[in-house]
């Protein structure tokens, strides 16, 4: 019986992380590529974090932006870089964020995000 409970516990851990908390869309505009001090942002994680700060804190929103609950909290926005490292983003999506103004789809999990072009 105890082996059975351990197996169920392990399966539940994996399946819980497998479920997305939420999905949102973000238009990455020039406003998202500069921080509050006017400095140019150079990393994808910083640009994505600034997009969410613009949306939630500064109410600077693009028409294609959608809301999310998770990054409404500053402490969660601070986790953006580690969540991206634990998640997935293709080279094409990374380059589009850095050098163009794409709309991206962001899937938020507990400890990671997946980012793709919309």
Q: What is the pLDDT of residue 109?
A: 97
Cβ neighbour number for residue 56 with a 10 Å cutoff: 19
Q: What is the pLDDT of residue 19?
A: 92
Looking at the DSSP bridge assignments, the partners of residue 114 are: 88, 107
Collect all residues with Cβ–Cβ distance below 8 Å to 74 and sequence separation of at least 6: 53, 57
Q: What is the pLDDT of residue 2?
A: 64
Q: What is the pLDDT of residue 18?
A: 77
What residues of the chain score a pLDDT lower than 70?
1-17
Q: What is the pLDDT of residue 98?
A: 98
CB 117 within 8 A of CB 96: yes
**Residue 34 has which token pair?**
């500069």
């Amino acid at each position: 019986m105890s082996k059975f409970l351990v197996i169920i516990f392990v399966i539940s851990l994996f399946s819980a992380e497998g479920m997305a908390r939420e999905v949102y869309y973000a238009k990455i505009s020039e406003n998202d590529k500069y921080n509050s001090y006017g400095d140019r942002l150079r990393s994808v994680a910083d640009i994505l974090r600034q997009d969410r700060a613009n949306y939630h804190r500064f109410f600077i929103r693009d028409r294609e932006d959608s809301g999310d609950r998770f990054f409404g909290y500053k402490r969660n926005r601070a986790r953006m870089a580690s969540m991206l490292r634990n998640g997935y983003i293709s080279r094409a999506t990374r380059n589009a964020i850095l050098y163009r103004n794409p709309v991206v789809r962001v899937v938020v999990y507990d400890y990671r995000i997946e980012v793709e072009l919309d």
